[in-house]
Amino acid sequence: MNSRCALVSNIIPFSCVDGPGSRLTLFLQGCNLRCKNCHNPWTMGRCNDCGECVAPCPHGALSVLNGRVVWQEANCEQCDTCLKNCPQQATPMARKLSVDDVMKQITRSAPFIEGITVSGGEATTQLPFICELFSQLKATPALAHLTCLVDSNGELGINGWEKLQPVCDGVMVDLKAWDTTVHLALTGRGNERIKKSIQWLAENKMLAELRLLVIPEQTDYSDHIGALSEFIHSLGEIPLRLNAFHAHGVYGEARQWRSACAQDVEPLAQALNDRGITNIILPALYL
């Protein structure tokens, strides 16, 4: 029987920034949010073979064959011209990979990693693939020691998390704003479902990390520090990572936003600490 497939934007065989230790990170294509500050904006959409990227490609790495956009990897110089010209915020370089294909890559990396992280885009938009991949990992003796994590925006409903629960070791979730109106302005959706996901994951010992992204003059964490602190307290002893926005690599109006520095992040950390939240991870560096 053929294994389930997913549309994959990229695979990083060895990453030290996508969860604890060295990890293989799988970036799935497609997202259900439209975050203005996204640093992987070409992973939001899916190619519809419109062909807008073909003519601008300076290296002749793209063509149209039988109505489909075809990527010639041998000609590609990774200049990102296609990404900047895509009206779908997609990439013509995404590949359809099966669980078996990914398992082979994991097997090659296994001696050098502690686990795998499935990210995106939004990983859970391809939930059946993740469930099958993690199930195969847990059932393979030589790979069963690898931890299986998901990096998510939290938009998945509770029924979806329940499907993932038996095979997933943890989920890292971003809470991109506290007030749902601010969240809507930043991402295109409110955050009620995301807050419910965070609470359910914490209650079921699946919340590996909560993340707040500090964007000067845009995010509203400090404006709601009391309610935010109470919410975080209710989750238990969950690591809280504060990330600093930087404008490099984003599209649209966010390119004009000011990057966050220590003077933006550390007062928030202190305000949370003053309210009893101590398990805070600060940015390793500011760009």
Q: Which pLDDT value is given to residue 286? A: 82
Angle among Cα 83, 89, 93 to the nearest 5 degrees reads 50
pLDDT tens across 208-255, in order?
999 999 999 999 999 999 999 999 999 999 999 999 999 888 888 999
Q: Which pLDDT value is given to residue 147? A: 98
Helix axis angle for 99-109 and 127-139, nearest 10°, is 50
77: domain CATH number is: 3.30.70.20
- Tell me: do 191 and 78 sit in the same domain: no
pLDDT tens across 156-167, in order?
999 999 999 999
How many structural domains are present in the chain? 2
- Tell me: do 156 and 33 sit in the same domain: yes
H and E: helices and strands count for the chain: 8, 11
- Tell me: do 52 and 13 sit in the same domain: no
pLDDT at residue 279 greater than cutoff 90 = yes
- Tell me: do 272 and 146 sit in the same domain: yes
Last residue of a domain, one of 85, 109, 139: 85
If you compute the radius of gyration of the chain from its CA atoms, what whole number of angstroms results?
19
pLDDT tens across 24-79, in order?
999 999 999 999 999 888 999 999 999 999 999 999 999 999 999 999 999 999 99
pLDDT at residue 1 greater than cutoff 60 = no
Per the structure, the complete domain to which residue 136 belongs is given by 5-42+94-281
Mean pLDDT of the chain: 95
Q: Which pLDDT value is given to residue 66? A: 92
225: domain CATH number is: 3.20.20.70
